[in-house]
Amino acid sequence: MSFSTDKKEAESNPRSAGRPSLGRRAVMTAILFALFASAVFRWLLVGIWTRAPLEIVPGVAGQEKWCGKYYKPGLPAQPPGGNFPVPAISSEPILRFECWPGLRPYVSDLDSAGSVLFSASAVDRAPGTPYDPLKDGTIFHVSAQIDGKSVSSSLSLSTNGVIGEDKFTWSKLGITPRKEAYNLTCTATSVQSGKTFQHSSTVAYLPPKPDSIGNVVQTDGRSGALLVPQGDKRVPLLPFGFYTGFGGYLDQNLTILDEIKNEGYNLVHPVPTFDNATALELVLDRMEELGLWLVYDMRWAYKNLTTVRSEVESVKKRKNILTWYTADEPDGQEDPLNAPEKAAALINELDGYHPVALVLNCQDYYFTEYTAGSQIILQDPYPIGINATWSTVWDTPCTPEVGDCGCDNCQGRLEDISDRLEQYRDRLVWQGRARDAVVWSVPQAFGEESYWPRKPTSHELALEMLLAINHGGLGIMPWIDSASNPGMRTGVSPLAKVVPALTPYIAGGNSKISRPIVTGAHRASTVILGASNPEQLLENLKALETLKNLTPEIREKINKLLDNTPTPEPNLRPL
């Protein structure tokens, strides 16, 4: 993401860095995911790729720390602090019983009915309650109340993690819409022992949107995907589009938006500053006409709540708003810990019908504090081309206590992306927030400056995207499409064009996503609809057999593709 507009000024004397390893087996597994849409598979085989230089934007001077670590020569190494408290593995089984709403938020004129979702799983870390599988068994009766009014009392649930659902109508429940969320309290009672387990959450049931708000974007409680209006329906969306330069790019040429639409992308994230207010209105008007979703960025304003109020009030009428975007790498810059939460609270007060997003850059620096109040957490490790152990900019080592190599605590391989995604998702689980917050990914689509001596090939950018989706990323927003960097966008356009075909498998409410163990890498997923856990196991076993079942003709085409794939440098660990 904003390595150059948000980060400190750096000397431009990069050393040559090794390339991420792209082993044959790893690339094959990534290609398997694309088999869900044959057009992607054909595209990857024939290798339709273009290249273009990237824009280099000056940085910001005056910082001596990034992610809490000193990075200039001569400054001390010290633990940055802010580490997430990973729960210890329990010596006894834990029952994680959860309940949460089927939609966030419910809106009274759209949703006459609602539902509560339930899940129970045997786990080895908090959150949860110790239980004895022999005494308590694996079957539970569950009940739920919203604001003290009974929703469910007859549903049975097992400890296999399968989501149960109990539906209700708001009118029969006697609950009226309001801006404040209602309390949801749930109880699971062991059929065998009678022991009870508790969980609490919240349910938002809003009044009809006022005319001053352009649309409603909801979150599917089963998948975490965004649901957007399409005519009189609501459909899942897999957000797929670039951060896009505004000054000197969008503000100069509105036809860029038409190109973006024709290339298959479904969103644009204009990058401020928005100095030309007239041009901004023209850009937003054209986006709305084209049906391109808007991620509205307030990175420079979000700490000034007066400015946040003004911007939200002026933009919320747009019918294509997807999400509000507050802080950009606040952890790297060490913004006030509560600043994102304050901005999110104000946005929810002024709007409430759209989620709030931010991006973090650090691997582990005050995650809980910076993500509070946001429903979408983006992560942006940039591993392509870096030297992960020695800063080519500052001529200092990079360790967990000191240094900046352009990708915090990374190893300089593509798996830095999936590792970070999994870490963020695990933290949301351990916080008890996994049902109301999701993780998106910011693939690296830049290079030839600072810590990054080269930009990724279009092959690598596609793999970054697929790898993130494989590991649960529910939105893809590469950094950056700008005046000198349109080639990265056009290079992965064929993938963008089949995102609608992939969306039901990734973001559909009944889809099941699981990852079989693949020798040498973890870049393959299987996606099936409405399956039970045994069915997923069988599907995973089938997936393991897929590679050896490829025909000689397909293998030959894959090998030709791999002949153009960068080979690993000796100093990088192979996959």
CATH number of the CATH domain containing 302:
3.20.20.80
pLDDT band at 575 (very low <50, low <70, confident <90, very high): very low
CATH number of the CATH domain containing 192:
2.60.40
- pLDDT digits over 543-552, tens only? 444 445 555 6
Strand 356-360, strand 376-379: pairing: parallel
pLDDT exceeds 50 at position 128:
yes
Classify residue 533: in a domain, yes or no: no
Q: What are the residue ranges of helices labelled H in 162-274? A: 170-173, 255-262
- Check whether residue 177 and residue 120 sit in a common domain: yes
Q: What is the pLDDT of residue 572?
A: 33
158 token code pair: 């097992």
Distance CA 315, CA 455 (A): 34
Q: What is the pLDDT of residue 402?
A: 98
- Check whether residue 137 and residue 278 sit in a common domain: no
Residue with tokens 């979703």: 293
Comparing 319-333, 385-399, 510-524, which segment has the lowest mean pLDDT?
510-524
pLDDT exceeds 80 at position 541:
no
pLDDT exceeds 50 at position 371:
yes
Q: What is the pLDDT of residue 478?
A: 99
Classify residue 449: in a domain, yes or no: yes
pLDDT exceeds 80 at position 348:
yes
- Check whether residue 176 and residue 274 sit in a common domain: no
Q: What is the pLDDT of residue 55?
A: 31
Q: Compute the average pLDDT of residues 173-181.
A: 97
pLDDT band at 374 (very low <50, low <70, confident <90, very high): very high
- Check whether residue 201 and residue 244 sit in a common domain: no
Distance CA 564, CA 24 (A): 11
392 token code pair: 């080519």
Q: What is the pLDDT of residue 389?
A: 98
pLDDT exceeds 80 at position 493:
yes
Comparing 235-249, 285-299, 519-533, which segment has the lowest mean pLDDT?
519-533
Classify residue 193: in a domain, yes or no: yes
Bridge partners of 94, per DSSP, are 123, 130
Q: Compute the average pLDDT of residues 380-409.
A: 98
Classify residue 544: in a domain, yes or no: no
Number of structural domains in the chain? 2
- Check whether residue 196 and residue 267 sit in a common domain: no
- Check whether residue 133 and residue 257 sit in a common domain: no
Distance CA 470, CA 27 (A): 13
- Check whether residue 379 and residue 472 sit in a common domain: yes
Q: Given 181, 206, 231, which residue is the final one in a domain?
A: 206
Distance CA 395, CA 75 (A): 12
- pLDDT digits over 412-455, tens only? 999 999 999 999 999 999 999 999 999 999 999 999 999 999 99
Comparing 290-299, 405-414, 524-533, which segment has the lowest mean pLDDT?
524-533
Classify residue 282: in a domain, yes or no: yes
pLDDT exceeds 50 at position 166:
yes
Q: What is the pLDDT of residue 549?
A: 52
Q: Compute the average pLDDT of residues 283-312.
A: 99
Q: What is the pLDDT of residue 484?
A: 81
CB 302 within 8 A of CB 325: no
Q: What is the pLDDT of residue 209?
A: 98
Q: What is the pLDDT of residue 520?
A: 53
pLDDT exceeds 90 at position 148:
yes
Classify residue 389: in a domain, yes or no: yes
pLDDT band at 508 (very low <50, low <70, confident <90, very high): confident
Q: Given 489, 512, 535, which residue is the final one in a domain?
A: 512
- What residue numbers bound the domain in which 180 lies? 111-206
**High-pLDDT (> 90) share of the chain, %:** 75
- Check whether residue 116 and residue 193 sit in a common domain: yes
* Separation in Å, CA 501 to CA 279, 496, 546: 34, 10, 21
Q: What's the pTM?
A: 0.83
Q: What is the pLDDT of residue 295?
A: 99
Classify residue 247: in a domain, yes or no: yes
Distance CA 28, CA 384 (A): 19
Strand 243-245, strand 113-123: pairing: unpaired
- Check whether residue 183 and residue 255 sit in a common domain: no
Q: Compute the average pLDDT of residues 1-18.
A: 36
328 token code pair: 């950009």
pLDDT band at 173 (very low <50, low <70, confident <90, very high): very high
Classify residue 557: in a domain, yes or no: no
- Check whether residue 247 and residue 187 sit in a common domain: no
- pLDDT digits over 52-75, tens only? 333 322 233 457 999 999 999 999
- Check whether residue 453 and residue 357 sit in a common domain: yes
Q: What is the pLDDT of residue 487?
A: 85
Distance CA 261, CA 244 (A): 13
CB 386 within 8 A of CB 367: no
Q: Given 466, 483, 512, which residue is the final one in a domain?
A: 512
Q: What is the pLDDT of residue 556?
A: 59
- Check whether residue 315 and residue 368 sit in a common domain: yes
CB 371 within 8 A of CB 436: no
| Backbone CA torsion sign across 29, 497, 421, 419 | positive
